Amino acid sequence: MFASRTNWPTAVNELTRRVRERRERGLPILDLTESNPTRCAFEYPGEAILAPLLSPENLRYEPSPRGARAAREAIAGYYAEHGASVDPEHILLTASTSEAYAFLFRLLADPGDRLLVPRPSYPLFGFLADLNDVRIDTYRLVYHEGWRIDVESVRGALQPTTRALILVNPNNPTGSFVKRCEWELLRTFCAEHHLAVISDEVFLDYAYAKDSERLGTLLREGEDEVLTFVLSGVSKLLGLPQMKLAWIAVTGPKALVHEALLRLEIISDTYLSVSTPAQQALPHWMMLRETIGRQIRERVKANWEYLRESVARIEGCRCLEAEGGWYAIVQLLDARDEEAFALELVEQEGVLVHPGYFFEFEEEGYLVLSLLPPPEVFQEGVRRILRRMGGE
């Protein structure tokens, strides 16, 4: 009855089952996986966010496959602040970054073609690939006092049907930026093998500190050799995932950019999935970037510092270095089973964390924590985790 591409295991995993049970029993959970910013007690400027939705413009429907020009100009303005000059005509709006990935997979790959993605990374890639009939090959991020891309593993994963290299800059959950020296090797590799690059920059503005070794937005690199698609959206940039607005900005060799945009326009025209109110509101929302972004950056930084200091005081685990993003990784050094420990944390301490396998770490022994929860929740959660580790 059903297509094999949707033949996913649908059984609820043990961790989710236990969390549900606990909630049903009315017991509290300190959720350190929470990555929905609208549930993390930030002070959103409610009026300024909602007022543009009342514009009478929203009563008219003027469909446009690339999206409203004013919204695309506001996005170009954002990149100008990052030192990148982008023609608004080279930007196309989508309902989410996930939808942007889907459009690009359809644009670049025939059924069975392959894409290169980092590992560990964002768990949605497998589903996005299945839904778009493409295959995923992973390249490695390796940790040695900091994460770096194993460029040899990128080369090793190449196949005749590989169509694109996906960079997540900075990556989720490792919080690592692509380095300039890595990009120099990767851009040559992509040019040689006619690969497009998809650069997921949803966390770009969440760096802990400046570092000139890191790659900024790929739109700034004056990329003229490799067809490049830069993705971002309001879900992370403005902490507004419910508004469903993201974008693809295209750069690279002129003729390829032109052709890519024509084709993307037809894909987009088929769905026209971005709502008019969100498009109309975007120029206003982009002015709130600092108000919202600053709160998120301060929260993430404070939680990260608390975690590092607390973990440094006990044996048996360590925090991995990170450069940005919304997540932290704790490595268990005492050969504990990460899943068993995550279950134990739910049962015994009422604390929920992600075991590393959720992000496809190559080895066992990692916990991933969201840095978004309010400090009182985060700190109490961390105290209980470390107590379980035998630190108190």
Ligand X SMILES: Cc1ncc(COP(=O)(O)O)c(C=O)c1O
Binding site residues, ligand X, CB under 6 A:
96-98, 122, 168, 172, 200, 202, 233, 235, 241, 246
The smaller minimum CB distance to ligand X, of residues 183 and 341, is found at: 183
The smaller minimum CB distance to ligand X, of residues 93 and 202, is found at: 202
Q: Work out the burial of residue 334: count CB atoms within 10 Å of its CB; fewer than 13 is exposed, 13-18 middle, 19 or more buried.
A: exposed
Beta carbon of residue 167, minimum distance to ligand X (angstroms, whole number): 10
Beta carbon of residue 155, minimum distance to ligand X (angstroms, whole number): 23
The smaller minimum CB distance to ligand X, of residues 124 and 333, is found at: 124
The smaller minimum CB distance to ligand X, of residues 165 and 246, is found at: 246
Beta carbon of residue 28, minimum distance to ligand X (angstroms, whole number): 25
The smaller minimum CB distance to ligand X, of residues 88 and 233, is found at: 233
Q: Work out the burial of residue 210: count CB atoms within 10 Å of its CB; fewer than 13 is exposed, 13-18 middle, 19 or more buried.
A: exposed
The smaller minimum CB distance to ligand X, of residues 330 and 372, is found at: 372
Smallest Cα–Cα separation from 104: which of 171, 167, 183, 160? 167
Task: Supply the DSSP string of 125-156, one letter for each residue.
Answer: HHHHHHHTT-EEEEEEEEESSSEEE-HHHHHH
Beta carbon of residue 348, minimum distance to ligand X (angstroms, whole number): 29
For CA atoms 289, 55, 43, 351, the dihedral sign is negative
Beta carbon of residue 100, minimum distance to ligand X (angstroms, whole number): 8
Beta carbon of residue 342, minimum distance to ligand X (angstroms, whole number): 19
Task: Supply the DSSP string of 232-267, one letter for each residue.
Answer: EEHHHHSS-GGG--EEEEEESSHHHHHHHHHHHHHH
| Residues 282 and 244: beta-carbon distance below 8 Å | no
| Residues 272 and 136: beta-carbon distance below 8 Å | no
